[in-house]
């Protein structure tokens, strides 16, 4: 099959293919971008596969960056764009289910396509727009089916992350899992325990953010994969409760998705949970903020002091999630309260510890901190002006 119209992203990248071909090697567009082009979806990350070995690729282009030579990947800078150019490879023996024990570079496109996960991810596209489709991926694309390349159980045994990827692509494409493929996934979910958490997080996160997250999540639940994910064993019913969110709701950020997940799981110690998922501290803090806001909101409207602790974006994301939970919401009131605050950062306070010590005779120590907190909250509550004279009068009245 030939693409009648090459999307502009590929046209822009054609010189890269052509230069590799001029040097006597094969080169193709591969992976998700070809799938997305065939589905008329927006394309991101145009990936290129080639028969040239990394050192050979580097000879062809004047501007390259070594980003993963051991995996065969060279970043090629072409005009304003950058492309990952990866040598055809096989990943033959997986000893620990985590990563290939050896990556072998090969000169054959077929070998490279064979090691890819799903038939719809295993296309190659040449410079003329011709689609190489060795595994009937076009038919699967037409029928909206996700099918493992080759023998499903072998492929998931080689790399169990593909199980999570299967759920994730279901969530992003809305496709069905082919029967044998799903059967193998269900049998092999215990292998997920052996996959690095960081890789699993990426796939689960993409699943939650995808438009058909309900589809991906319901397969994940059906397969009982959760039993092999950090702190999620036995959580079928709680996970199911995510389906109570408003129809057609999609998560607007990772933080919001994970806050909804932790809320559904009734996680008591979010920091611990997210530590087990090895997320960044900043991410954990943002999810924690959302959970705290959700809890505060259960008690009614947010006070000025409540709003002061968070940024407006978090406050509104939590409110949106509440809306999806079918609860009463008032984003406008929250915005107004937030905007009515005298300041959002105590650095803007017209007093500090130094002034208290030098001008008011306070000693460094806990009492100083208490007085500063008291002033800060009095200003936040709107009972004291953020003004030197007003603070002065307040301090005198306090003594």
The correct pick among 84, 112, 117, 319 for binding ligand ATP (CB under 6 A) is 117
- 326 annotated as ligand-binding: no
- 159 annotated as ligand-binding: yes
Nearer to Mg ion, 124 or 242 (CB): 124
What are the angstrom distances between the C-alpha of 40 and each of 36, 49, 195, 270, 278? 6, 22, 33, 39, 35
How near is the Cβ of 153 to ligand ATP at its closest, in Å? 14
Q: Binding of Mg ion at residue 45 (CB under 5 A)?
A: yes
As given in the structure block, the two tokens for residue 292 are: 């705290």
By CB under 5 A, what part of segment 12-41 binds Mg ion?
Answer: 32
Q: Binding of Mg ion at residue 339 (CB under 5 A)?
A: no
Nearer to ligand ATP, 150 or 331 (CB): 150
Q: Binding of ligand ATP at residue 205 (CB under 6 A)?
A: no
Name residue 76's beta-bridge partners.
64, 83
Residue where the block lists tokens 């490279």: 112
By CB under 6 A, what part of segment 120-159 binds ligand ATP?
Answer: 121-122, 159
Nearer to Mg ion, 211 or 353 (CB): 211
Quote the CA–CA distance of 264 and 266 in Å, as a whole number.
Answer: 5
Task: Choose among 254, 294, 252: nearest CA to 274.
Answer: 254
Sign of the dihedral through C-alpha 247, 253, 257, 260: negative
Question: For ligand ATP, which residue has the nearest CB?
Answer: 32
How near is the Cβ of 16 to Mg ion at its closest, in Å? 17
Specify the stretch interacting with Mg ion by CB under 5 A; choose among 44-52, 163-171, 204-212, 376-384.
44-52
383-391 contact pairs (CB < 8 A, 24+): 385/342, 386/342, 386/343, 386/348, 386/349, 386/350, 387/350, 388/350, 388/351, 391/350, 391/351
Nearer to ligand ATP, 147 or 165 (CB): 165
Number of Cβ within 10 Å of residue 336's Cβ equals 11
Write out the binding residues for ATP. 32, 35, 116, 159, 162, 165, 168
Q: Which residues bind Mg ion (CB under 5 A)?
A: 32, 45
Contact residues toward ligand ATP (CB under 6 A) are 31-32, 45, 116-117, 121-122, 159, 161-162, 165
């Amino acid at each position: 099959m030939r693409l009648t119209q090459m999307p502009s992203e590929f046209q822009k990248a054609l010189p890269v293919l052509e230069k590799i071909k001029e040097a006597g090697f094969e080169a193709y567009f591969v992976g998700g971008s070809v799938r997305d082009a065939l589905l008329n979806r927006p394309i991101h990350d145009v990936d290129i596969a080639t028969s040239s070995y990394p050192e050979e690729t580097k000879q062809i282009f004047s501007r390259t960056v070594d980003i993963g030579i051991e995996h065969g990947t060279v970043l090629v800078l072409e005009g304003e764009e950058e492309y990952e150019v990866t040598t055809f490879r096989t990943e033959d023996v997986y000893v620990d289910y985590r990563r290939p024990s050896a990556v072998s570079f090969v000169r054959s496109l077929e070998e490279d396509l064979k090691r890819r996960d799903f038939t719809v991810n295993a296309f190659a596209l040449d410079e003329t727009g011709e689609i190489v489709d060795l595994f009937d991926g076009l038919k699967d694309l037409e029928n909206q089916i996700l099918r493992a390349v080759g023998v499903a159980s072998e492929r998931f045994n080689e790399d169990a992350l593909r199980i999570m990827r299967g759920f994730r692509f279901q969530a992003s494409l809305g496709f069905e899992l082919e029967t044998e493929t799903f059967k193998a996934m269900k049998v092999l979910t215990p292998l997920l325990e052996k996959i690095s958490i960081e890789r699993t997080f990426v796939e689960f996160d993409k699943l939650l953010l995808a438009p058909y997250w309900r589809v991906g999540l319901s397969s994940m639940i059906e397969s009982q994969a959760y039993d092999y994910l950090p702190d999620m064993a036995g959580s079928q019913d709680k996970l199911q409760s995510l389906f109570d969110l408003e129809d057609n709701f999609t998560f607007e950020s990772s933080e919001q998705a994970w806050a909804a997940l932790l809320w559904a799981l009734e996680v008591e110690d979010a920091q611990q949970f997210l530590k087990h998922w090895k997320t960044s501290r900043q991410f954990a803090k943002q999810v924690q903020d959302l959970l705290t806001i959700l809890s505060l909101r259960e008690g009614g409207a947010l006070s000025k002091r409540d709003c002061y602790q968070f940024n407006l974006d978090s406050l509104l994301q939590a409110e949106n999630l509440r809306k999806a939970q079918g609860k009463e919401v008032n984003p406008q009131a929250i915005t107004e309260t937030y905007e009515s605050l005298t300041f959002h950062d105590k650095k803007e306070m017209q007093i500090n510890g130094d002034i208290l010590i030098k001008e008011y005779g306070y000693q460094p120590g806990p009492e100083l901190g208490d007085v500063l907190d008291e002033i800060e909250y009095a200003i936040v509550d709107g009972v004291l002006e953020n003004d030197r004279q007003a603070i002065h009068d307040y301090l005198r009245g306090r003594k």
